[in-house]
A and B are shown apart, each in its own frame.
Chain A
């Protein structure tokens, strides 16, 4: 059992089997040992929390809760590297950029996180999904325009 003094959530006990190792780390963030925390059983979001930096955590979600038609295609090299052939072999999460307004929430569908046997990798989806996909239906069409713009490249 590990104890994390989370700056967001206070003291959190993490069982050893809940430790997730990112052998290649997470792009732009420090550390290789993380865990998934559910703060609220009714929430669609989990927190990917660092076990090395108590202030480092990012919300993630099951992408199919928000994007039922979402498809992840794993590059052959990645499949060999991470030992996961298809998304069905792993738990799939996407990172969430939270915001004050729901219509500004974004999910990164281009770089899903695949968790498998205590190890996790953030891979690049071979299907060029947007890096910033709007998660909640906006009242206007603005969100769709943003989706089109961010899907380029």
Chain B
């Protein structure tokens, strides 16, 4: 992985159309501004991974799902 040292207010450019700006540094947090093309989805990695895991788990669901009636019967 490439490591670059930057100060607040400085930017990094990735390719033609992605710009990352270090907007604020404080304590253990860094605030980052990202300019990217509309079609690029920018997400916090932990959310990305959590959604990936849920999607995969959902996709392993069995074909036989309860109807509301069955739900009531089993809960009652």
Which residues from chain A sit less than 8 Å from chain B, CB to CB? 8-9, 23-24, 26-29, 39-40, 42-45, 56-60, 77, 80-81, 95-98, 102, 106, 108, 110-111, 122, 124, 131-132, 136-137, 139, 153
Contact = CB atoms under 8 A, between A and B. Distances in A.
Contact of A57 (B38, B43, B59): B59
A40 B67 contact: yes
Q: Main secondary structure on chain A at its contact with chain B?
A: loop
A28 B55 contact: yes
A8 B58 CA distance: 14
B55 A81 contact: no
B59 A29 contact: yes
A77 B39 CA distance: 10
A26 B55 CA distance: 8
Interface string B33-66: 0000011011100111011111111110111011
B69 interface: yes
Q: Main secondary structure on chain B at its contact with chain A?
A: helix
B61 A59 contact: yes
A149 B53 CA distance: 16
B44 to A, nearest CB: 8
Contacts of B58: 58-60, 95-98, 108
Contact of A45 (B50, B65, B69): B65
B14 interface: no
Contact of A95 (B42, B47, B54): B54
Given A28-B52, A44-B68, 11 more contacts: A23-B39, A27-B52, A28-B53, A28-B56, A42-B69, A59-B58, A77-B38, A96-B65, A102-B75, A110-B47, A124-B51
A96 B59 contact: no
